[in-house]
Amino acid sequence: MNKKVFLWGGATAANQCEGGVTEGGRGLALMDVVPFGEKRQAVLTGELDFRKVPSDSYFPAHQGIDLYHRYKDDVALFAEMGFKCLRVSISWSRIFPKGDEEKPNEEGLQFYDSFFDELLKYNIEPVVTICHFDLPVWLIDKYGSWRDRKLIGFYLKLCKTLFVRYKGKVKYWITFNEINMILHAPFIGAGLVLENKTEAEKIKFQAAHHQLLASAMAVKAGHEISADFKIGCMLAAGQYYPYTCRPEDVWEAMECDRENYFFTDVQARGKYPRYARKMMEKKNAVIQIEEGDEAILNEGTADFVAFSYYSSRVVSSENLSHEKSSGNIFSSIKNPYLESSEWGWQIDPLGLRITLNTLFDRYQKPLFIVENGLGAIDRFSEDNNCIEDDYRISYLRDHIKAMMAAIEEDGVDVIGYTPWGCIDLVSASTGEMEKRYGFIYVDKDNEGNGTLERKKKKSFEWYRRVIESNGTVLE
């Protein structure tokens, strides 16, 4: 690999780390109304209207890890590790507090000016996700979120504002985080409340169509503003394995893969594949495609395909009482050949190599691993007051080896690697702080208590050596 080209770094999201929910003119956003506790999952999936959640609930996103006030110190730590890039996201409601204003919030724009300047001071390339599980609550209340086609225009205004403002500071953009998540957790993915399940599938696919149009229009607009922009799409990836070699199980795995890949099929190839239209028909979810929509999709194909990878999945065609893996939004049968994390996520480094090859064979576009990591409970060693997170090092080492094999032995084109939660942050799925991913420990517990003090874990120095050696030193 060319050291100057490959982007080693880390990944974060505004809604999980930024905080400052009432500061700088920011409006209320989607994740700000998702509580910690037993009601969280129902809100994330859209089964429970967030407006029915008691106001005295604990909402972890309100503070996150207070990156809004502490970003300079955090960036200095990232620089100490040698980061070549940092994946961040924009808080939509910090730029347009309601989402449908004519003019942006200047104070919000200035915050990201300062943030990006701080990164560039250390030669850290910002990789910016425009919408990462983010949406002003006003757009949900007034328009019903992405089910309304008007949101395309609001999103495009946000994109153009960002493109013009940060031209020269930001080169790499991602339009939507894990766009396929809309089918599995529609509120977190698109702000959809679906208490009435009668037309839930149709609403989800129609909203997805609007997001796909918005993504394509953003790519086109971005390229018109700057020829230097590289604008990608992103999915939550992970190959589906058939439970057995029964043809029916193989077919089931193929169908599950297609349900995820159809988003990036559209974004990378510029049109709906035939199977996608048939899939929507089977689900009684035929969507409205207006005249000119197909041309828009064709004109705004992504420059690269980004993805998150944590684990593979297993499916069966038979509805049997198979043991299920736990802790993952994606349903999966437990794979007996794999170990599992404390949260039941199965650990499959070879699955990353398989996923890389599958995606590259499918799209022939550069790939970017923008999330990969191990959530675990970290404990300080009594001997040296340090977190010896060898389990995290082992997980990342094995996955980096798989990535390097895909690059060097299989010829897969990979832009970079940004492990998730390079600093401890709020878990999107559970709202926990104690489900930690970072190289940097943040003193905060699940109930929001703590000093927010940052401390380096053992993995901090390990990852510094990985980056310094361009992935050749992994022990």
**What was the pLDDT predicted at 318?**
87
pLDDT at 314 over 50: yes
Quick one: which of 75, 81, 86 has its CA closest to 464?
81
Q: Which of 345 and 241 is assigned the larger pLDDT?
A: 241
Per the structure, the complete domain to which residue 127 belongs is given by: 7-468
Quick one: which of 309, 419, 421 has its CA closest to 356?
309
Q: pLDDT, tens digit, for every residue of 65-122?
A: 999 999 999 999 999 999 999 999 999 999 999 999 999 999 999 999 999 999 999 9
Contact 240, 319 (CB under 8 A): no
**Helix 200-225 with 247-269: angle, nearest 10 deg:** 40
Residues 6+ apart with CB under 8 A from 122: 75, 76, 78, 79, 83
Quick one: which of 463, 471, 473 has its CA closest to 77?
463
pLDDT at 326 over 60: no
- Taking phi first (over 0 means left), then psi (-120 to 50 degrees means alpha), and beta for anything else, what does residue 6 get? beta
Whether residue 337 lies inside any domain: the answer is yes
Lowest mean pLDDT among 98-102, 132-136, 314-318: 314-318
**What was the pLDDT predicted at 321?**
63
pLDDT at 61 over 50: yes
Contact 136, 29 (CB under 8 A): yes
Whether residue 381 lies inside any domain: the answer is yes
Whether residue 225 lies inside any domain: the answer is yes
Q: pLDDT, tens digit, for every residue of 173-198?
A: 999 999 999 999 999 999 999 987 88
Residue 311 structure tokens:
């684990």
What's the one-letter identity of residue 429?
S
**What was the pLDDT predicted at 344?**
86
Question: DSSP letter string over 354-392?
Answer: HHHHHHHHHH-S-EEEEE----B---B-TTTS-B--HHH
Question: Could you tell me the pLDDT band of residue 1, with boundaries at 50, 70 and 90?
Answer: low
Number of compact structural domains in the chain: 1
The H or E element containing residue 441 is strand 440-442
- Give the global pTM: 0.96
Whether residue 326 lies inside any domain: the answer is yes
Mean of the per-residue pLDDT values of the chain: 95
Whether residue 50 lies inside any domain: the answer is yes
Which CATH number belongs to the domain containing residue 76 in this structure? 3.20.20.80
pLDDT at 433 over 80: yes
What value does the CA radius of gyration of the chain take, rounded to a whole number of Å? 21
Please list the active-site residues: 371
Whether residue 474 lies inside any domain: the answer is no
Whether residue 473 lies inside any domain: the answer is no
Whether residue 84 lies inside any domain: the answer is yes
